[in-house]
């Protein structure tokens, strides 16, 4: 057995021995409502702030992140687009050729892309205007400020200068000694703390945390499944307080960050609510973390320089994008 396997199994034993996590972290709708207030970043950077936790990516933070590049190795965390409809991809990526070297205009090849990127299939970034809760968005902006022409506030264009900071990969299947987590498997704060101990890295303000559940590894073996019927592994709502204490700039995963079903009666996607709405934390959804996990394990370094840049769309609620990890 490798050193990594021994340490991993030992750490996971500590998580399991800490008691029944499901019972320990049982939450109600009232608990989520309380945390919306307790974990809130509303007003922290001013009443008109639209960047939210991206404010934590300071010039000094970017300089420190750049110093993480030692080997010059880059790995994409973008899931290759899927053009075929599937249970987890009801709105396939559309690619239509306009010119392809035929007919009277035979000199050029050109095409058209179309994608309904929100959902469970395409790698994308959620802007802070993507979610409403009780008629409000982050920092108290009204849902009435989003209409048929797009969002007036909290739009994706606010992040047009890109994300350049330290990224940290949390490989929970590796921690638990499995290839992937089964749909509906919850990740708890003890898992996150055990991973920090294993990876010898602690999340700092301004970092972006990526949670690997092994979703794409499972899909390759078992095939696609509908999240509505089959669920998804992800963070339990109890992890939100841990993320707020660490002061993360963004949250990413290979699924939708939330465990589905949520385990909180009457509340769907509590992690989305507590990050986008309360903390002002943008989200990367549906990243492909397979190659990054392999490289990180090979190098035994789970921190890296993260670079990503959304499309600058006025009024946009998010954007497809290609997050890149560089060591």
For residue 155, give the CATH number of its domain.
3.50.30.50
Whole-number Å distance between alpha carbons of 57 and 179 = 33
Sign of CA dihedral 255, 123, 87, 220: negative
Whether the per-residue pLDDT at 105 is higher than 70: the answer is no
Q: Does one domain contain both 111 and 238?
A: no
- Read off the DSSP letter of residue 86: B
Which of 101, 121, 141 lies at the terminal end of a domain, its last residue?
A: 121
Residue 85 included in any domain: no
Q: Please, which pLDDT band fits residue 1 given cuts at 50, 70 and 90?
A: very low
Q: Is residue 84 part of a domain?
A: no
Whether pLDDT at 85 is above 80: yes
Q: What percent of the chain has pLDDT over 70?
A: 93
Structure token digits, residue 123: 């790698």
Alpha-carbon distance 153 to 80, whole Å? 30
pLDDT digits (tens, 9 = 90+) for 33-43: 999 999 999 99
The arithmetic mean of pLDDT across residues 115-125, rounded, is 97
For residue 29, name the pLDDT band (cuts at 50, 70, 90).
very high
According to DSSP, the β-strands at 250-253 and 303-308 are unpaired
Question: Do 115 and 24 fall within a single domain?
Answer: no
**Claim to verify: residue 170 and residue 235 sit in the same structural domain:** yes
Q: Let me know whether 317 and 232 are in one domain.
A: yes
* Residue 134 and residue 104 share a domain: no
E strand spans, the chain: 74-76, 94-100, 109-114, 124-126, 146-147, 150-151, 163-171, 186-187, 208-212, 234-235, 250-253, 282-285, 303-308, 318-320, 324-326
Number of domains composing the chain: 2
Does some domain include residue 300?
yes
Mean pLDDT of the region 78-99:
96
Whether 86 is covered by a domain: the verdict is no
Mean pLDDT of 126-140: 98
Same domain (yes/no): 108, 207: no
Structural domain boundaries enclosing 45? 3-79+123-326
Residues of the chain with pLDDT > 90, as a percent, come to 89
pTM: 0.94
pLDDT at 2 exceeding the cut of 60? no
pLDDT the model gives residue 189: 98
Whether residue 185 is contained in a domain is answered as: yes
pLDDT at position 18 over 50: no
Q: What is the mean pLDDT of the chain?
A: 94
Q: Which is more confident, 302 or 16?
A: 302
- 204 and 314, same domain (yes or no): yes
Residues 101 and 142 in one domain: no
242 versus 2: the higher-pLDDT residue is 242
Shared domain check, 321 and 216: yes
């Amino acid at each position: 057995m490798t050193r990594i396997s021994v340490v991993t199994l030992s750490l996971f034993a500590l998580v399991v021995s800490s008691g029944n996590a499901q019972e320990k972290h049982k939450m109600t709708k009232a608990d989520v409502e309380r945390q919306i207030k307790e974990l809130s970043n509303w007003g922290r950077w001013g009443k008109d702030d639209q960047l939210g936790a991206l404010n934590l990516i300071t010039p000094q933070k970017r300089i420190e992140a750049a110093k993480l590049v030692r080997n010059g190795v880059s790995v994409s965390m973008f899931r290759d687009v899927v053009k075929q409809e599937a249970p987890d991809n009801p709105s396939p990526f559309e690619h239509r050729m306009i010119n392809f070297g035929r007919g009277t205009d035979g000199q050029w090849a050109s095409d058209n892309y179309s994608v309904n990127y929100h959902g469970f299939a395409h790698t994308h970034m959620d802007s802070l205007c993507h979610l409403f809760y009780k008629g409000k968005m982050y920092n108290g902006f009204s849902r009435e400020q989003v209409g048929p022409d797009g969002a007036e506030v909290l739009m994706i264009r606010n992040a047009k200068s890109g994300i350049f900071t330290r990224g940290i990969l949390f490989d929970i299947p590796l921690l638990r000694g499995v290839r992937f987590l089964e749909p509906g498997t919850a990740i708890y704060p003890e898992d996150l703390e055990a991973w920090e101990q294993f990876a010898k890295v602690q999340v700092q303000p301004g970092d972006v945390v990526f949670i690997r559940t092994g979703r794409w590894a499972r899909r390759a073996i078992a095939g696609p499944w509908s999240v509505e019927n089959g669920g998804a592994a992800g963070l339990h709502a109890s992890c939100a307080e841990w993320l707020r204490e660490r002061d993360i700039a963004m949250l990413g995963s290979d699924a939708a960050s939330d465990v589905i079903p949520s385990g909180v009666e009457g509340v769907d996607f509590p992690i989305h609510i507590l990050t986008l709405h309360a903390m002002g934390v943008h989200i990367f959804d549906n990243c492909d973390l397979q190659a990054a996990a392999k490289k990180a394990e090979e190098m035994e370094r789970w921190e890296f320089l993260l670079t990503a840049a959304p499309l600058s769309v006025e009024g946009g609620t998010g954007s497809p994008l290609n997050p890149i990890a560089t060591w």
